Structure 1
Amino acid sequence: MIKGLYEAHLPVSNLERSIEFYKKLGFWFAWRDEDTAFFWIEEGISWIGLWVGEEHQTPYHPSLRHIAFRVDYEDLKQSLTWLESIQVEAVPFGGRTSIQPFIRPDQGNASVYFNDPDGNSLELMCYIDVPDELKHITDKLSFEEWENLVGSVR
């Protein structure tokens, strides 16, 4: 029945500023009205809606004001360079102090985080193939730690 995500929405305080930010991410501008703008993430497949309103003041929680965008592994390895090239700063996730992308072996994914101009949490995320003998690891590992670990079991 369900095939994927069609749309997601985020609150913003300034539509013009947000439009420029999301264009920098490479999304395709779809349409706008007075207080709303939509961008295709994957044209004809999924898009993001930006809505001007006081809701942008809602405190962040992972269940609110957060979107993860799918990327591939090699792109995620280069994500800090890419973010820097479009003048976007990565941010640490949770209690971490490092902005470096990291691997979650127990979840089978890897991530790097950044914020939009209103503090909405954005994430670049990819799936990773985790050997069975490493699926129990709950630590967040750097790419170097992960690749060394995987190399030792394969």
Structure 2
Amino acid sequence: MIKGIYETHIQVSNLERALAFYTKVLNLKLGHLDEARRIAFLFMPEDKSSMLGLWEQTENLQTRHFAFYCDQAFILDQAVSFLQDNGLQPYNFLKDGSIQPMVFAWMPALAIYFNDPDGNQLEFIALLTGEAKPALGVLTYGDWLAQQ
């Protein structure tokens, strides 16, 4: 019956700035812009298998969290430099000062976090092969590999 989540929506304080961020930095594709309602709908990836809605909200902005599903190789080899090259500060789930991706052992999944211009907490995540090990909590990728 359910195959996944098709779309999510977030509030942004400036629609043009958010559009520039999501289309130019993260390479999402504009599907529809409703100027009158100050809403934009972005497709990711281009096959339109999922969508992000940006709703301009000038008062009482409420930030949210969501994750972009990525390849493991991208997260391990490119995500941190990609974020830094685009002026974004990567951080891990523990917010312990490390900018290296972390593993959620209960899934297992590899992830790195960053914020959009409005403070929405975004994540690049990749599911890992192997058995889930919830007792390990959140750990570095190296420590995860050592447990395999």
The answer to whether TM tops 0.5 is yes
Q: Which residue of 2 aligns with 1:80?
A: 80
Tell me how far apart the structure 2 counterparts of residues 81 and 112 of structure 1 sit (CA, whole Å).
Answer: 12
Out of 45, 51, 55, the residue aligned to residue 55 of structure 2 is 51
- 3-state SS of the aligned residue for 1:87? coil
- 3-state SS of the aligned residue for 1:69? strand
- 3-state SS of the aligned residue for 2:98? coil
CA contact (8 A) 2:14 2:58 kept: no
Tell me how far apart the structure 1 counterparts of residues 65 and 28 of structure 2 sit (CA, whole Å).
Answer: 17
- 3-state SS of the aligned residue for 1:22? helix
2:14 counterpart letter in structure 1: N
Identity of aligned residues (%): 34
Q: Which residue of 1 aligns with 2:102?
A: 102
Tell me how far apart the structure 1 counterparts of residues 18 and 54 of structure 2 sit (CA, whole Å).
Answer: 8
CA 10–55 in structure 1, closer or farther in 2 if over 3 Å, else same: farther
1:52 counterpart letter in structure 2: E
CA 137–55 in structure 1, closer or farther in 2 if over 3 Å, else same: farther
Structure-2-length-normalised TM-score: 0.86
Q: Which residue of 2 aligns with 1:31?
A: 32
Q: Deviations over 1:103-123 (max 9, x none)?
A: 111221111000100000100
Cα distance, 1:148 vs structure 2: 2.9
CA 114–10 in structure 1, closer or farther in 2 if over 3 Å, else same: same
Q: Which residue of 1 aligns with 2:90?
A: 90
- How many residues in Structure 1 have an aligned counterpart in Structure 2? 143
Out of 120, 144, 147, the residue aligned to residue 145 of structure 2 is 147
1:113 counterpart letter in structure 2: Y
CA contact (8 A) 2:107 2:134 kept: no
2:49 counterpart letter in structure 1: I
CA contact (8 A) 1:104 1:139 kept: yes
User: Which sections of structure 1, spanning at least 5 residues, go unmatched?
Assistant: none
Structure-1-length-normalised TM-score: 0.83
1:6 counterpart letter in structure 2: Y
Q: How much is the aligned-residue C-alpha RMSD, in angstroms?
A: 1.9
CA 106–128 in structure 1, closer or farther in 2 if over 3 Å, else same: same
